[in-house]
Structure 1
């Protein structure tokens, strides 16, 4: 797993549980603000409506991924790739804290 102890400093290449939780909270707040802005944009032409709908769906999908990441954090599997079972590098978790896969497995899934 790529989490260090929450009570100590993280080892190189690891996130503490506190750091992971902060990153996930930041992502959640960003997506909720994005949804609020999309809803405030209102409606217009059909093309604009389609774009707003796509953006809304995307933000909601990411929110579900963030919720799932919080569940993995709670059950101790956060940071483990669901494809190969190896640790997801901390650098990847810093960029995409809700990811389920390492880069190799994600490339294979696409």
Structure 2
């Protein structure tokens, strides 16, 4: 997916660079807040160590995906499926802005 410039607006069904960046920044902030809450919940907790560790690892993994999406945005490859190379629909990017795959490729990957 080629993203339109923020100044010229996006073509129908596409996100502008600015919109993509905003969505990614919002996701990053949400995940950082979530990680802080997990860390705070873990203070003095031993009964749920496995659950907290799993939540912490999952949140950190999503943060890495978000960072990778920022790299793709800078490289001009954001919005292109890494499986088939086709454009990822804007609707999918609005819901999951750090995704690397279209629904079809993600479904077939497992």
* Equivalent residue number for residue 44 of structure 1: 45
Is the CA contact (8 Å cut-off) linking 1:2 and 1:90 kept in structure 2?
A: no
Whole-angstrom distance in 2 between the partners of 1:94 and 1:54: 26
Partner in structure 2 of residue 26 of structure 1: 26
Q: Structure 1: any 5+ residue segments left out of the alignment?
A: none
Answering whether residue 71 of structure 2 is matched by residue 71 of structure 1, we say yes
Do the aligned residues in 2 keep the contact of 1:6 with 1:17 (CA within 8 Å)? yes
Matches within 5 A, 1:1-110: 1-41=1-41, 42-46=43-47, 48-110=48-110
**Per-residue deviation, residues 31-74 of structure 1 (Å, max 9, x unmatched):** 0000100111124243x111111000000000000000000000
SS at match of 1:15: coil
Structure 1 vs Structure 2 CA RMSD: 1.0
Q: TM-score, structure 2 length as denominator?
A: 0.95
